[in-house]
Amino acid sequence: VSFTVDSFTDQDVEAVAMLARQYFPEKGRASVETVGRILRYQYLMKECGQMPPSMVCRDREGKPVGFLGVTNIPFQYRDRVITGAYASDFLISESARNSLTALRMLKVFFSGPQDFSFTDDANLTSRQLWERLGGMTAYSQSIYYKTPVRPASFIARPIVKGRNRAFGITLCKSAFLIDFLMNRVNMPRFRPEQMNVTYQLLKPDDLINLMELHMRGYYLHPRLTKDGAQYYLGLIEMEEQYGKLFKAAVVDDRGYVDWFVYYLNSDKSCSVLYSESLKGREDLLFKSLLWHSYRQGGVELSGRLNPVQAGTWIGRNSLLLPGRFWAMVHTAQKELLADLLTDKAFLRRL
Amino acid sequence: MRTTRLTSGESMLQDVIHLIEKMLQVDGLNGESELIESGLLDSLALVNLMTTLEENYAIRITPDMIDFEHFSNPAAIFSMVQHCIQMKRSNSG
């Protein structure tokens, strides 16, 4: 066998950062140092757990040619605490693809001591590998949404692509004006004056409190500690290559309403990482999120739809895109597997 | 509906080789041709090959059978397929 699978260590950071920049376009926008700093933080801090470790695949000379990032997360599952191993940044360099490296790495990963393994960003190839090794696709967790924030600009965007610059500028300015006027003449898709909410900077304590309130009713959800919340918020702050970060806890006169985290990128698209509300306040969540992104100049919002949000405002008013990325699970425990595939499992890396 | 082919060992090996050649779009393989070390078979190709074998021989290749030695050459794959067929027969019999 030409390649070996080892634990990811500090010595591998630079080589893996270079690979990650090559294979993940969004990481390619950041420097090797920045990507390395994120990798070190994300996969080598004690908060990401000990076993199984993140893995590298090395060639004969010991050089990393593949990587599988692992974050071990304590989960509350019914009345016990279990460990979920979250896989991310899975990559194999072209030079190592003809030696079954991907299957070898996943086999090693699945054989770890975790109760279950999961990911929420598998592409079609990864999905096929997971399924062949006994994993399952969590279809209800694999639906993405896209919704306009500025409808006229949203429609103008695909028309402008590939056209000449003068036409593009004219159309975009016209669309921006239409969106502005629609808002002025009381035709907004949301009315902030009726919402009466306050946006607070999301802090670790808010996150813990909101998660605790939000997670009631789930069979399985992450057990968030203060260290865990700090780790997570620290990580998303480092990932500047995705755009400008906004993280807010939304409060009204009855207390917490919801919380959200999104990146606003340079083309004014808002990529939502998390947007969760307290039970029964889902519609308010997306209206508050839309208004927030509108004020930041956003044109569209996109993100992964939590299954419990499918019947709410966002589910009814968005373009739903199943399978942009797939949520995958793997476990040898049959009862747990059945629960993981329901919408009562909160399958996120928090 | 596909059915298990009751062929002699030799012709079934040829059948397996033919399937692999067709899938990998290569010619001239024999029972001992290296598939993994030679770089012919990558992870995705292996997944597709397993699906093809399952469909052609009405067998089920379980995750615990994905031992890379079983896929190192056509003869090893043929042995694994035979094993799966025998397992299926003993389970149904």
pLDDT > 60? residue A193: no
* Interface contact A134-B37, CB threshold 8 A: no
Q: Which residues of chain B does A1 touch, with a Cβ-Cβ cutoff of 8 Å?
A: 68
Q: What is the mean pLDDT of chain B?
A: 86
Across the interface, which of A1, A2, A101 has its CB nearest the CB of B43?
A101
- Name the pLDDT band for A88 (thresholds 50, 70, 90): very high
| Strand ranges, E, within B1-93 | none
d(CA A86, CA A319): 28
The pLDDT value recorded for residue A313 is 82
Hey, is the C-beta of B85 within 8 angstroms of any chain A C-beta?
no
Query: What's the rounded mean pLDDT across residues A137-159?
Result: 90
B19 pLDDT band, cuts 50/70/90, is very high
User: B66 CB near a chain A CB, below 8 Å?
Assistant: yes
pTM for the structure as a whole: 0.89
pLDDT of residue A139: 92
What are the percentages of helix, strand and coil residues in chain B, rounded to 5?
A: 60, 0, 40
* The pair of three-digit structure tokens given for residue A305, joined into one six-digit string: 């739809």
Residue B7's pLDDT is 53
A185, pLDDT greater than 80? no
pLDDT band for position A192 (50/70/90)? very low
ipTM of the prediction greater than 0.90, yes or no: no
Check A97 against B41: CB less than 8 A apart: no
All residues of chain B having their beta carbon less than 8 Å from the beta carbon of residue A98 are: 36, 39-42
**Strand partners of residue A222:** A75
Is pLDDT above 60 for B54?
A: yes
What residue in A sits closest to B48 (Cα-Cα)? A128
Instruction: Report the alpha-carbon distance of residue A53 to residue A231 in Å, rounded.
Output: 17
**Euclidean distance between CA atoms A38 and A20, whole angstroms:** 11
Nearest CA-CA partner of B77 in B55, B49, B56: B49
Q: How far is CA A312 from CA A131, A283, A307, A348, in A?
A: 31, 6, 10, 20
CB A101 within 8 A of CB B43: yes
